[in-house]
Amino acid sequence: MLTVISPAKKLDFEGVPLKIDATEPAFKADAYSLSRTARRLSVADLQKLMKISPALARLNQTRFRDFAENPTPEQVKPAALAFNGDTYTGLQADTLSAEDLAYAQDHLRILSGLYGLLRPMDNIQPYRLEMGSRLATRRGKTLYQYWGTRIAEAINAVETDTVLNCASVEYFSAVKPEALTARVITPVFLEERDGTAKIVSFFAKKARGMMARFVMQGRIESVDGLKGFDHAGYVFQPAQSSAERLVFSRKYPD
């Protein structure tokens, strides 16, 4: 089973807390090429492209201008430790054992608008570039067109019969699910309150990270194994689930 998650906008490039063997991204050259395209954009262009504030646009203009073709060790950090959003609060990669991280290197992938597809220990440089950004390149007007089917092909190259989709719709759309050879299983996390159950984005993102951690620590290889996920009060709901959609729910937290 290969678990796929989204990246995060928030980053943490402080010191690496573990002694680990970092790796190089498969699409490192593409990341540098895209950075060169993005560095030509003005602050106003970046603000419009990613719908961000002027301060964030200036920060990311600097990041793109500083993006190195061959970065030094001080300029990079493993992806699973550098991303710091809600999903990564659930994943807590910095508290996984060396054995868990080694397992994750083969069984976990992170989607990225800039890097395409990352292993947890692939070194990345600071950046922000959402997959939905309409960054025009020689391959088209969007990053979806830039990546085409290459992300799906990279996933197909992994020996697995199941892809656990713990990514957002924005990012998993870049995978081109129809191009995958493996079956896709998507967990859904619901919050129950006042007689209704619905997806709450903040909680769902964190739960996807917790699910990824559950899989890495438990070495889960089967769909039935996924149904045992019970972190943070979530319980599998068989009546609401299907072969490709596993529903988990809990009472809305106080």
User: What are the start-end ranges of the H helices in 93-183?
Assistant: 98-107, 143-147, 150-156, 169-172
How confident is the model over 193-199, as a mean pLDDT?
A: 92
133-158 pLDDT per residue, tens: 999 999 999 999 999 999 999 999 99
How confident is the model over 180-196, as a mean pLDDT?
A: 95
- pLDDT given at position 16: 63
Q: Which residue type occupies 114?
A: L
How far apart are alpha carbons 69 and 36 in whole angstroms?
Answer: 10
Listed in sequence order, the residues at least 6 apart from 189 whose beta carbon sits closer than 8 Å to its beta carbon are 199, 203, 204, 207, 208, 234, 248, 249
CA dist 207 to 44, 103, 133, 254, Å? 35, 20, 25, 16
Q: Residue 112 pLDDT > 70, yes or no?
A: yes
User: What are the start-end ranges of the H helices in 9-68?
Assistant: 28-38, 43-50, 54-66
The pTM of this model reads 0.95
- pLDDT given at position 17: 56
- pLDDT given at position 15: 73
- pLDDT given at position 47: 95
Count of CA atoms in the C-beta half-sphere (13 A) of 66: 15
42-89 pLDDT per residue, tens: 999 999 999 999 999 999 999 999 999 999 988 999 999 999 999 999
